[in-house]
Each structure stands twice: as C-alpha cells, then as structure tokens.
Amino acid sequence: MSGAVITGAGHALPATYTQRDVWDEFFAAQYDGVRAAERVFMAAGVTTRHAVAYPGDEDLTQWGTGARMERYITEAVPLGKQAVAGALDGAGLAPGDVGLFAVATCTGYATPGLDIRLASDLGMSLGTQRLLIGHMGCYAALPGLGAVGDYVAARSRPAVLLCLELTSLHVQPALPELEQVVTHSLFSDASAAVVIEPGAGRGRRIAATVARTDPATADHMTWDVTDLGFLMGLSPRVPDVLGRHVGGVVEELLATAGLRSEDVAGWAVHPGGPRILDVVRDTLGLAEEQLSASRRVLAEHGNCSSATVLLVLEELGDVDGPVVALAFGPGLTLYATLLLPA
C-alpha cells in the first residue's frame, strides 16, 4: 500500500437555527420592500443552519472588521479543537503523531494564527509543521487535501487538515439587492477536519486532483475585506459558468485512473446552492439520488464554505468504490479530487 489515505474525520457545529426563524426574526426587516426577497430566501434549499452569532439575538451589521476578527478567534478555537480531536480519535492517533497541521479558512485571521493556537492547545509537537490556506473560499478543502496528501506521501508522516468557517460574523448592512439576499440565505458556520496517513490499509486514498480556473469570469464571485467585515459578491451566472467546465474536469480526473462516470460510487459535490447542484447533475448526467448527500448537507447545515465538502464526504459514509469530490469558488475556480478505496 502507498500514498496518502484519509483515515479519520470529525466536525463541530455551533448553535442551530431554522431558516424560517432567521427570516422572521431578522432578515424580513432588513429586506422589507425588496420584491421577492422572502421567496428567494426560502428557496435556498436550506432548512437549518448554524451560527456563532445568530442575527436574531445580536446584530453585527455595524461591527468593524477588527471586532469581528477578535470574535472569530474566540469562537474558532473551541470549534477547531473539537473537530480535530474527533478526527484524531477516528484515526486512532494522538496529537503528537501529527507531522503537518493545515488550516483552511477565509472568514477570520489573527497572528499568531488559529493553526498555532490549536496546535498548542491540542498538544501537538513543537516540531509540527503548519500550513495556513487563506481566503480561497468554498473550494479550499480540495487543494488543501492535495497539498497535505503530497506531504504525507513524501514524508511518510500523518497530517491533519482543518476547514473552519464562521460566515455569521460577516452579516452585512442591508442593500436592496436580491444578490445579497441570496448570500445571506445560504451561508453557515462549521468546523470539519480530516486525518491523512501514509499507506494506511483502510479509508480513502487521495488519488488525483484536477483544477480549472476561468479568469474571464473572476468578477462573478468575490469576497472583499471591508471596514464592516467581508463582503460577498455572487453573480447568478455562476452555475452556468460551472456547467461549461465541470464535464471536462471530471473526465480529466477520472482518466487518471482509467475510470468512467458510471464507475463512481459516490459524489461529494459542494452544495453552493440548489442551482449549482442542478447544473452538476444535468451536465454529468447523474441521477438525483447521486446528489442526495449534498442536498442533505445543504438542507441541514447550509453552505459552510470550505468545510462543506468535508461534511458531504462524511455524509456519504463508507461507500464501496471510487468517490469524486467537487468544489467551486472565486476565480471562478473548480477543483475535483478522486478518492479511491485504500
């Protein structure tokens, strides 16, 4: 056996709230007078979400970025610690076994960083290497898996990848735009971690990664740092752009292992929204049931940015056969990872 294998997974979620409650208690007033706002908000495919800062209890719209970053560290440390501890327990490893600890996030920053604070709190070795994957957005877990997997294969040491996003800290002052209604209807908080080991005989082996970026559409999805937190721009044209590229990316990915689409046992598609899942389904010719794990994660957790595709992989469980993970984000960028049985 060789290569890098995912052997453990864990996640942690803050308080849960319903889509209906957050509309009634906060966003209904924010978007009063915006035609179709409630219909768009409730059509996001989300039933419940999670937040460290629930808008119905505290209004952060006028908070400065500095205050939001302070809150990020306060909330992120316990969530990250719980997710990583769960992943290590699942793999049967101790924190001192970890050779590389990587953290992906686009919703909060501090120095010393979350990676340093968590490595210390968890009891990782003083010699543990660290990697921060910042501001890549929703697809960051997959390049993260690729980089961490390369380390594991080359160094024959275990590693941990943590994806932690607290999007609730970036609720924005209301604008009379449906684009903003869409972003506020989707995003959620979560922490998810995986352990990757060299040559393990159980789990999913990271077999290949393919990326595609369409810079001509870079303005379709943005995540800008402002004085009032981070501001998302999200064009309704995003699903159509992804539809132009996803077929070629998946074909290229599967060709690395001599596979075809019908050989894939599980699809872990980042649920950026209902239309994105519809486009992936129709472009790849998948049955609706093949996206059931992604739909459930969207309904139960919302779009948790980089953590989401790891939640979908957990939701898939121990499917018998190849798994394709797909995630999308700013760039516009599409990443695909092939996972094979160890």
Catalytic annotation, residues: 138
Q: Which two tokens stand for residue 124?
A: 């990782």
Ranges of H-type helices in 126-259: 141-155, 178-186, 238-255
Q: Tokens 């002052």 belong to which residue?
A: 173
- Residues with Cβ within 8 Å of residue 261, at least 6 apart in sequence: 250, 254, 284, 285, 286
- Residues with Cβ within 8 Å of residue 64, at least 6 apart in sequence: 227, 228
Yes or no: say if 312 and 294 are a contact pair by the CB < 8 Å rule. yes
Q: Which two tokens stand for residue 128?
A: 């543990």
Q: String of b and e for 216-239 (b: at least 16 CB within 10 Å)?
A: ebeebbebeeeebbbbbebbeebb
- Residues with Cβ within 8 Å of residue 235, at least 6 apart in sequence: 179, 219, 220, 221
Rounded Cα distance, 84 and 249, in Å = 31
